[in-house]
Amino acid sequence: MSQTVCILGATGSIGQSTLKVLAEHPEKYTVYAVTANSRIDELVAICKQFKPKIAVVPTELVDHLAQLLKQHQLQQIEILADEAGLIAAASHPEVDVVMAAIVGAAGLLPTLAAVKAGKRVLLANKEALVMSGDIMLQAARQHQALLLPVDSEHNAIFQCLPQNYLQLERENYQPKQGVSQILLTASGGPFLNFSIEQLQTVTPAQACKHPNWSMGQKISVDSATLMNKGLELIEACHLFSISEHFVTVVIHPQSIIHSMVQYVDGSTLAQMGNPDMCTPIAHALAWPNRISAPVPTLDVFSHQHLNFEQPDLQRFPALTLARQAMRSGGTAPAILNAANEIAVAAFLAQKIPFTAIPEVVDFSLNHIAITSADDLDTILDADTSARRAAQQYIATQRGGLA
C-alpha cells in the first residue's frame, strides 16, 4: 500500500531532495501535503508535479496561491494557513509520514504535532529537537511515533548502532549495548583553515558556499561557525540518549564518512557515501527496508585520502557554547538556538561580522536565567527572551540595527 507523506518545508533544500526521492517511488509514496513560507512559485511547481491534497502558506500568500492554483486547474488543492495550517497538515489523519524540514524554531510546534499524532517523523529540523529535547522524545514514546534522523550524521550513527537501539529504555544517558563512543563528523565548513583575522571579514556569500553540501542559508552559516555541529551534538545526545561526554566531534573535510560509532571491543563502524541528503532521506523513509535514491554509488578509488582532525575551539567557539548548553540542560539549548537564529539573520543582513555570531549567543546564555524545561511554555518563553537579549546585544554592543 502506498504511504502518504506531508512535507513541512517542501520548498527548501531538504524538501526538494525529499521530492526527488519520492519521485523515484510513485508506487510507494503519495505526496499528501506540502508547505512553504515565501517561495510561492516553487510551491506551485511542486503542486503541478505531485498534486497534493493540501498546501500550507502564510495568510498573506493565501489569495495569491489560490489564483495561481486556479490558473493551473489545481483549485481542488485545499489551502491552509499559518502555524495552525502547518499543525493540521502534520497531524492529518490521512498522513502516514511527516518530513520535518522547516528551518529553525518555526518548525517546533508542527513537528511536535506530527509526533503527538503518532506519525513516522523524518527529522531534519534539528532546532526543534535542540529546543524541546526530552519533551519531544517523551511525546514520541507516549504516542508511539517513530522519530527517525535525517541529519546525515545522525542518520549515519543510527545506521551504525545496534538495530533496536532507539527502542531501548533510556539509561541515565550512558551508552548501552557495547557502544563506547559516538564520533560526530564535521566537514569544518568553508573557513576550516581561516585565521581569526580572516574570519572577521568573511561575507555571507562566502559563508553560504559550502565546500561539500548544498543547503539552505541558515544551516550553511551554522556549518561555517561550527554551531551546526554544536546543535548536532545536542541532537545526538537526545536522539541516542547519551551524555555529551560520549560524543566526540571529528573534523573530516571530505564528508565521505558521515559519522562513526565505537564499541567496547575496539570496533569502529562508519557509514560512508557521497554527500547527498537523498541518501539519509531514502533511508529514513524506508527503514528498516531500503529503497533506491538518486545518488551515485561511492567510488572509493576516487577518495584516496580521508583525513581526521580535532576541531579548533579557539577559532570556532560555537562548539564549546553548545557543549556547555547541553551540560547545563533545561532551557539552555533553547536559548543557544534562539540567540543563534537572531545572530545568523543579522550576519546574513550584514549587520554584524561573522565572528560576532558566537558573541551574541554567549551574551544571551549569560543574561537569561536557565531554568528546567519541563513544559513547552517555559521553552517558548526562553526562546522569546533569548531573541530579545540577542537583539539588544546586537543593537547596543555591536551598533547594529537588529
The residue of the chain with the least Cβ separation from ligand NDP equals 12
What lies within 8 Å, CB to CB, of 253 at 6+ separation is 187, 188, 192, 211, 307, 309
Q: Which residues of 266-286 are buried (b: 16+ CB within 10 A; e: fewer)?
A: eeebbbebebbbbbbbbbbbb
Q: Which of 13, 132, 279, 385 binds ligand NDP (CB under 6 A)?
A: 13
Give 44 or 357: the residue with its C-beta nearer to Mg ion. 357
Q: Which of 36, 44, 318, 356 binds ligand NDP (CB under 6 A)?
A: 36
What lies within 8 Å, CB to CB, of 350 at 6+ separation is 203, 204
- Please state, in angstroms and rounded to a whole number, the distance separating the CA atoms of residues 142 and 385: 30
Q: Does 293 bind ligand NDP (CB under 6 A)?
A: no
Q: Does 114 bind ligand NDP (CB under 6 A)?
A: no
Residues that bind Mg ion (CB under 5 A): 151-153
Q: At closest approach, how far in Å is the CB of 151 from ligand NDP?
A: 4
Q: Does 102 bind ligand NDP (CB under 6 A)?
A: yes
Q: Does 216 bind ligand NDP (CB under 6 A)?
A: yes
Placement of cell 579548533 in the chain: 312
Residue count at the site for ligand NDP (CB under 6 A)? Answer: 26
Question: Shortest CA distance to 103 belongs to which of 189, 231, 216?
Answer: 216
- Please state, in angstroms and rounded to a whole number, the distance separating the CA atoms of residues 86 and 109: 9
Q: Are 156 and 271 in contact (CB under 8 A)?
A: yes
Q: Does 9 bind ligand NDP (CB under 6 A)?
A: yes
Only segment of 123-131, 167-175, 246-254, 336-344 that touches ligand NDP (CB under 6 A): 123-131
Residue 103, contacted partner among Mg ion, ligand NDP, none, CB below 5-8 A by kind: ligand NDP
Give 46 or 242: the residue with its C-beta nearer to ligand NDP. 46
Give 87 or 256: the residue with its C-beta nearer to Mg ion. 256
| Alpha-carbon distance values, 29 to 6, 32, 143, 194, 295 (Å) | 10, 9, 23, 44, 19
Q: Which of 3, 37, 181, 328 binds ligand NDP (CB under 6 A)?
A: 37
Q: At closest approach, how far in Å is the CB of 277 from Mg ion?
A: 9
| Alpha-carbon distance values, 103 to 94, 192, 253, 291, 326 (Å) | 24, 24, 24, 26, 21
Q: Does 344 bind ligand NDP (CB under 6 A)?
A: no
The cell numbers describing 303, all together, are 577518495
Question: Shortest CA distance to 183 belongs to which of 123, 253, 263?
Answer: 263
Residue 28, contacted partner among Mg ion, ligand NDP, none, CB below 5-8 A by kind: none
Binding site for ligand NDP (CB under 6 A): 9-15, 36-39, 101-103, 106, 124-127, 151, 213, 215-216, 218-219, 277
